[in-house]
Structure 1
Amino acid sequence: MLSSRRAFLGTAATLLLAGCSSDVLGLRRAVRVAVSWSGEELRAFHKVLDSLGTLNYPVEVVPLGDAISTAFGIRSTRRPDIVMLPQPGLVPRHLSDLEPIPEDIAPLGRARLWKELLVHEGTTYGVPFKTAHKSAVWYRPSVFRQVGVQPPRQWSEWLTLNRTLTQAGVTPMALAAGDGWVLTDFLENVLLGIAPSVYSELATAKDPRPSQQPQFAAALRLLGTMWSAPGLLAGGVKESLVQQFPDALVEVFGHRRAAMVLASDFAEPVVRSFAADPHDIGLFTFPPMNAGAPAPVVVGGDVMVLQKPTSDDARDLVRRLSAQTAPDPWIAEGGFLVDGRTTGYSPELTRLAEQLTRPGEQLQFDLSDRLGRIGDINGLWRVLTDFLIAVGRPDAAVPDAVDDAMAELRNVEEG
């Protein structure tokens, strides 16, 4: 999931590097950690490093933003030792660049959500650091109370809720269509809700072909029905297309021009920073597609991998960062979930953490991350952007837009 949300928390200040390079000090070689974070997220990671206590080696943090995958191409002494990878789906494609994770912490990479991505032929090549709940919807409870509605319990209720809000003169939703991964998150939740077996098959296929799955088209039709509703989006499709993730959050909680926004747990610091009323913050999770069906839960996250050749110092840092209490300083800042942990969060994130650990929940990892080039910015992102434009026209015909999207997807698969 390449995500310009990695820069969205940078509203406050200048970025700093943690520690100093040994190239400058002439001392013990620094452990270099490549990250995609910036701004407040990067600042929170510094606090995590500071909380580890005195280390026997310097640590240098290398912020690479959306170019994080370039860390694997560096072959000089400036090569990062540890990569905090926001696209765990890249791990299988870089096994030749990676060292196995030390056996004492390797079980962390064998957990239910991560095993298929991080374990290959019995060897673990990554451990999770940060988990992202990608089925969260943040909203303003005061608006719901004013109109007399409740969070939806299934998909049809969500469509009704949107119509009720619109009829009451309230714009239902802000959509950060300028960040294509927000559109893929939406589609993934719908597909997982209506066809979990198809979702799983696509996620694990060596040569995935979404265009050959009728259920994929069915998910697009459902999504098109929502997105094409008149008055649904703050600023309409035109403004949504240039609206990035933080802007959509501010649209709902700062400017209060919309009632809700699909936004992962890591949105929490921005929501709280910009909320005009700090008590008017609510959260519900993506509802089931039908009564009695399980709700979809799409999960992402950042994993730690060790580049070849590694060092004892790099292994030591990964061990320290793998401790369940290591990210406590970031948890205190908000917008951080640890796989398997349900305590220490705000009430909203506690609900998300509990859902991720409840038996029987329908959890699946971010599909676009697992589709390779089909799911990236020139693939599914572009297809969904064009689809949104098509269904947003006044004379839009959703079935025709679905057919066009599936044809465009076929071209991506064959390209």
Structure 2
Amino acid sequence: MRFHRARKALIPLATAAILGVTLAGCSSGGTPPASTTPKEDLSGVTLNVAADWSGAEQANFEKVLAQFSSETGAKVNYTSYGSNVATTLNTKIAGGDPPDVAVIPQPGLLKSLAQAGNLIPLSADTLATVKKYYSQDWIDLGSVDGKTYGVWFKGSNKSTVWYNTKVYQNAGADVPKTWDDFVAALQKVSDSGVPGLSIGADVGWPLTDWFENIYLRTAGAAKYDQLTNHEIPWTDPSVIDALTILSKLWSNSALIEPGGAQRTFGDSVTEVFGNPPKAGTVYEGDFVAGNITSQTKSVIGTDAKFYDFPSINGSDPAVVGGGNAAIQLKDNKGAAALMSYLAGPEAATIWVKLGGFTSPNNGVDVSNYPDDTSRQIADALVNAKTFRFDMSDQAPSAFGGTSGSGEWKILLDFYQNPTNIQGTAKALEAAATADYGK
């Protein structure tokens, strides 16, 4: 299903709310969170839960669900929708067989589902839990027309660049602060005999994160908001500037490991942290840590570290963030109980301890983060002078969240032919005009 909506119906997020999103998961406190699992017996209840997580993330989330099952007696079946969350979920809804609960990464999708009448608002008890443990900004991100539908179970810092410390040391490459230093570091790594950068872009979504980080630093927060809401065209000079920077990087075959258009994101992580490493650097969000831990023998904080996405033209520290919101699609007591469980700190703490996870829940004790690196990730998100939620996740799903179409496909085409800057901008504008409905 494609989404054609007017801008005002798309994402009614106040700029102040986006600026003020905080990672409440960095609260302090010396006691573990009290259980928020419902006390009622759910024996005999079967729930179907879906999300986009697979691999290590799926395994960790299934441990969260297993604890819910242990404490309530409910049976929970998990299905991964992979990269096609919007398409698959809407197909299930149209067929009359949606999951009881889904966890989705796109505020735009949440809002369209709510506006179509496909979501169940949070119960009064769950809403009270959310208000207790979440900042108002995260509540606003899960609300539509005065009703709250989403529990932002997972947050993410998508402005982290991960590197193999041994590769960098061998190459004599320093941790960069600026974009020019970043390119220079990649060159040093490549000169040492290992490609500087591995990219996994087979379905396109990692490329949207590249664009957003560069655009936020070159165009600024105000234009970022305007482009997010399609108030300026994708042919705007600010977009051309960002695409030009990407073009120079992606067209430099001396720095980038070949095959990125066919490589998965997970495989790009393995390329950098496997034995032997086949590249020195991989860009993506804090969830890279989970892939490193599950797919390689590298140790976070020793073999594998990250630095903040570099400053461009003197830009202040900035973070593009994301998250995954739990939503309820079936009106039954089991689904409502699971939503209540996911809203509390107990559920989030299970995954926090496993690594590769950052929680917006302020009931999660910072001491539960397993290492200095995960605390560094959280600190970077909290203290960023500029924060913006992932642009493509706020867009209509047909434009910003669907494999094989919209921004994903167009940027993947651009990655494979990075000289076509003007053509890429025009293609993005044409797709945005169709999918935003203006």
Give the TM-score band, short-chain normalised.
0.7 to 0.9
Looking at structure 1, the residues matched to 145 and 268 of structure 2 have their Cα atoms a distance apart, in angstroms, of 42
**Is 1:349 matched up with 2:374?**
yes
1:385 aligns with 2:412: yes
The residue number in structure 1 matching 2:423 is: 404
Change (3 A) 1:186 1:76: closer
C-alpha distance in 2 between matches for 1:82 and 1:366 = 23
CA separation in 2, counterparts of 1:362 and 1:173?
26
- Listed as ranges, the matches of 1:3-14 within 5 Å are none
Identity %: 28
Shift of 1:265: 1.9
* 2-structure distance, mates of 1:276, 1:40: 14
**Aligned residue for 2:64?**
48
Q: Return closer, same or farther for 1:356/1:112 CA change in 2, 3 Å cut-off.
A: farther
Q: Which whole-Å CA distance do the structure 2 matches of 1:76 and 1:234 have between them?
A: 42
SS in 1 for 2:307: strand
- Which whole-Å CA distance do the structure 2 matches of 1:78 and 1:385 have between them? 32
Whole-angstrom distance in 2 between the partners of 1:110 and 1:329: 18
2-structure distance, mates of 1:210, 1:370: 16
2:81 to 65, 68, 77: 65
Tell whether 2:108 aligns with 1:89: yes
1:271 paired with 2:292, answer: yes
Distance in 2, matches of 1:185 and 1:198, equals 16
Aligned to 1:223: 246
1:113, 1:365 within 8 Å by CA — same for their partners in 2? no
The Cα shift of 1:269 comes to 2.9
Q: CA deviation at 1:27?
A: 7.0
For the residues of structure 2 that align with 1:219 and 1:175, how far apart are their CA atoms? 18
Contact residue 29 and residue 58 of structure 1 kept, 8 A: yes
1:249 corresponds to which residue?
269
Q: Is residue 173–residue 185 contact of structure 2 (8 Å, CA) maintained in 1? A: yes
Match of 1:283 among 299, 302, 306: 306
Q: CA RMSD in A?
A: 2.6
- List runs of 5+ in structure 2 lacking aligned partners: 1-41
Q: Deviations over 1:281-333 (max 9, x none)?
A: 11112022133x3223111121111225x233322221222222323332233
Q: Structure 1: which amino acid aligns with 2:224?
A: Y
Kindly provide the CA deviation profile for residues 23-66 of structure 1, in whole angstroms up to 9, marking residues without a partner as x.
Answer: xxx97443332233334333322321333475445232230423
Match of 1:105 in 2: 129
Per-residue deviation at 1:251? 1.0
Number of equivalent positions: 374
Mapping 1:255-334, distance limit 5 Å: 255-275=276-296, 277-278=298-299, 279-291=302-314, 293-308=315-330, 310-334=331-355
Pairing of 1:24-39 with structure 2 (within 5 A): 28-39=44-55
C-alpha contact (below 8 Å) 1:184/1:384 kept by paired residues: yes
The partner residue of 1:336 within 357, 370, 376 is 357
Which residue number in structure 2 is paired with residue 178 of structure 1?
202
Alignment partners' CA distance in 2, 1:44 and 1:231: 37
Tell me the TM-score normalized by structure 1.
0.82
The higher-RCO structure (CA 8 Å, 6+ apart) is 2
Secondary structure at 2:226 match in 1? helix
Alignment of 1:226-241 (within 5 A): 226-235=249-258, 239-241=259-261
Deviation (angstroms), 1:177? 2.0
CA contact (8 A) 2:107 2:142 kept: yes
Structure 1 stretches lacking a partner, 5+ long? 1-25, 392-397
**SS of structure 2 residue aligned to 1:139:** strand
1:128, distance to aligned residue in structure 2 (A): 0.6
Cα shift readout 1:153-212 (whole Å, capped 9, x = no counterpart): 111211222233333433210011213111111011000111221111222x2x555424
